[in-house]
Structure 1
């Protein structure tokens, strides 16, 4: 272990005993459980990055509990945090000069910590800059230094790929993902999954392929019209079959994995099922994204997402707080499927229910912030629905634990010309700044209307 001061030791112990048990989320992560601690024991840059991350995580936890008027304590934490951040960046300079495999490993590990450090602070643009730098470096290392052949490097690459997927699901544009993900996270059919982490890796691969296919279609549709090419349709068919195979494999693995419980141990399985439902909708619509009414075909699937989320909600409410992740994790949880549901499903009760679940408990999942997501969705729903339902009897005061019934889904269908598309969020670089929602809607005369709304990122 490197020599550190008593103050640094206190923050390191916080990171080791508190942050390390919460940040990975519900899935196992070799990057967090092993690699980060090993690197921090011998690499000053990683150690100081860890101390900075531990400090911002400790600040977040204590801010919930702090008595008013204790700003002096947090000013000292801020100073410590920024000193460690500066030391970590300075500590990487020798590694930039070395230009070898070990130095690139240290740099990539530190870069990933920097990304989560900035996201946790609400500095999304700064986190995005670190992510872009890390992706470019990972791309370089993979192609030049052949890093992906080593288990350590596979853990680093997997962490970058998961982070990239998380950011893409929020509609944020990033570069270089195709080159680092190709060959590193291929879908590999199997009879049974040995672990839930293996099942998660394969589902991540299928989600990434679906997103890639959507992007490819959007690029080529400019030249070919709305009709996808035979090659794209074939690719979609392959993903559809593999997604069905994945679900059958998961079901065949249930007994061996021991997932039939109502405690925190069942969270990984339940989240996998939740994401599979979302992935199914994404795959079926990935070559028809220009027509928003296509999502009306998947009301049953959106109800399934709400039903599964309600079950998770009930378990969370009955599970001691120390048995499930804290308010901040580096990995994804239920925010993306609920966000996707509220954005794409135009059944009022379903989308309002998704927003209610998001608003039931503030937390962060990497780049995702439940408060910000809730704010985005409420504004998006208001833009779309407007006064369309003003003459309808609507009761939005239903309990979160009450799953939608058939009579809850009988409101008139929102007309296509009310619906928006290409909803994106321009993220702030400081918690005090406002995020911006940008979308477009086709007017009755065929022209497109660009809509922009400023949002409060600190709700």
Structure 2
């Protein structure tokens, strides 16, 4: 028998993880010369510099579905070489972040526009890698509170990717690129989301204002030529306007673009919905107008609301009329199409109904005095809203860690901050804590903390009142040594100093509608 040849073994050399980016994407050894490596300069290549932060190596055995998706191979089609770390992040964005951002509704913004730009625009590609790196860190370590020191490899890598994106955008501005504005808008949107999930609200608002300024400039140029529409993807414009409606609750002044778009819009006419997209096109602007109305009402003292009551009541009446009409149209739509929808479309319909129900109740109670509890007659509506919200949460098996669409957090905050039944408020707070996530500007944990402090403030007032007047505690409450028991749950009445410190790290926090209404920072200044 012929002698069997021994199997040839491939030589293995440990690959450097500190070489320049150019050598790494070319899979060649780098001499790591400071500034620019000799391997690049001697071959006429542009040395793309050194990355300080390299991502940790993937574990061989990973049980979490999120981690398995993280390492799924990405599709071909990129016009430039990619490092292994960037490949991991872009893969995670495609297979995890986009499904997270579209948990409630399908979106041409994320499933088409951003995806296309990620493949064709290097600045968007690096912004995507940055957001994905932060997203992965959040899934491992949770969403940080404002003022947290964000350190570690993932955040460092995200900063480097952001810097690359900024550099590419600056270079394109010098070249007067006609496609630059849409690229800038998509990058702005990605940067807004990144800053929000990191708890950097002021930076997020700065990026948002930059994007809105670009949209205003584009709109003005179109108007000067007799063309009324902004020439960008409709879903991109909707995303900016929706984020702006949230930002108005966080101290941002409405832009000219918003005033021109929604200045006279109330949507009171009837609509024959035939698709979930038809529903969104009516509901989105209606809720954005409603968010603006609520921000002005919640942030104003009772005396200011009373002085402008006639004006605000007229606006409230028109909003409620539009919401009532939407409710009738949506009921007809559900009766005709709900049984024909896919599981995701039904989830979107449930989310739309929840958004409508919350906006209606919030607008109903917006002009009520902040110094007195709401009438008991509202309890039934708050309980219904809580039931619908919890049902919507139960249908989300893989709950997203971040979205732009806001539905769950606003509804639970409406209940937690206003329901006359304290046990129902406590259930809403617990529901917020049970699912740490961000819906645009709304961080569920921060929202729960603010609602808890507002509840504590009311409890301190009730405790003082019962002691002074020697009266019985309200039903369901029991006070005991700077504590209150709410339906068997114990809550300390001491102010949360960590929350105050966290809010003080955000310069705009004093003008947030929820902070103003709760009096958290005002009380801490007195103390």
Given the alignment of the two structures, is residue 115 of structure 1 paired with residue 196 of structure 2, yes or no?
A: no
2:322 to 229, 242, 250: 242
Match of 1:31 among 95, 109, 112: 109
Q: 2-side partners of 1:376 and 1:453: how far apart?
A: 16
Question: How far apart are residue 20 of structure 1 and its match?
Answer: 1.1
| Superposition pairs of residues 57-456 of structure 1, within 5 angstroms | 57-63=135-141, 75-97=152-174, 102-145=179-222, 149=229, 152-168=232-248, 171-177=249-255, 179-180=257-258, 182-183=260-261, 186=265, 188=267, 189-213=269-293, 226=307, 228-229=309-310, 232-258=312-338, 265-288=345-368, 292-293=372-373, 296-316=376-396, 319=397, 321=398, 325-386=399-460, 388=462, 392=473, 394=476, 426=503, 428=505, 438-439=515-516, 450-452=522-524
Distance 1:25 1:395, change over 3 A: farther
User: Secondary structure of the residue that 1:326 maps to in structure 2?
Assistant: coil
Structure 1 residues 219 and 351: alpha-carbon distance in aligned structure 2, compared to 1, 3 A threshold: closer
TM-score (norm 2): 0.66
| Structure 2: 5+ residue stretches without partners | 1-77, 143-150, 467-471, 479-485, 488-499
Question: Structure 1 regions of 5+ residues with no counterpart?
Answer: 65-73, 397-407, 410-422, 443-448, 455-459
CA distance 1:221–1:343, shift in 2 (3 Å): closer
Contact 2:101–2:403 under 8 Å retained in 1: yes
Which stretch of the first structure deviates more once superposed, 216-225 or 46-55?
Answer: 216-225
C-alpha deviation, 1:127, in angstroms: 1.2
Judged with a 3 Å threshold, the aligned counterparts in structure 2 of structure 1 residues 272 and 346 are, in CA distance, closer, same or farther, namely same
Instruction: Work out the number of aligned pairs and report it.
Output: 401
After TM superposition, give the deviation of residue 125 of structure 1 in Å: 2.0
Using the size of structure 1 for normalisation, the TM-score is 0.75
Residue pair 2:216, 2:256 contacting (<8 A) in 1 also = no
2:109 is aligned with 1:42: no
Cα distance in 2, alignment partners of residues 151 and 258 from structure 1: 34
Q: Is the 8 A contact 1:40 1:46 kept in 2?
A: yes
| Matched residue, 2:27 | none
2:244–2:254 contact (8 Å) kept in structure 1: no
Once the two structures are TM-superposed, the CA of residue 159 in structure 1 deviates from its matched residue by: 0.9
Report the equivalent of 1:417.
Answer: none
Match of 2:483 in 1: none
Alpha-carbon distance, 1:295 to partner: 5.9
2:87 corresponds in structure 1 to 9
Q: Is the 8 A contact 2:417 2:451 kept in 1?
A: yes
C-alpha contact (below 8 Å) 1:119/1:367 kept by paired residues: yes
Please provide the CA RMSD for this pair: 3.8
Please say if residues 281 and 301 of structure 1, whose CA atoms lie closer than 8 Å, have aligned partners that are also in contact.
yes
Deviations 1:280-336 (A, max 9, x none): 1233344556665456552222111111123224434xx4x3xxx422223223011
Quick one: higher RCO (CA 8 Å, sep 6+), 1 or 2? 1
Greater shift, 11-20 or 272-281, is seen at: 272-281
Q: Distance in 2 between matches of 1:40 and 1:237?
A: 44
Structure 2 CA distance for partners of 1:22 and 1:239, relative to 1, 3 Å? same
> Residues 215, 369 of structure 1: CA spacing in aligned structure 2 closer, same or farther, 3 A cutoff?
closer
SS state at 1:4 partner: coil
Indicate conservation of the 8 Å contact 1:440/1:450, yes or no.
no
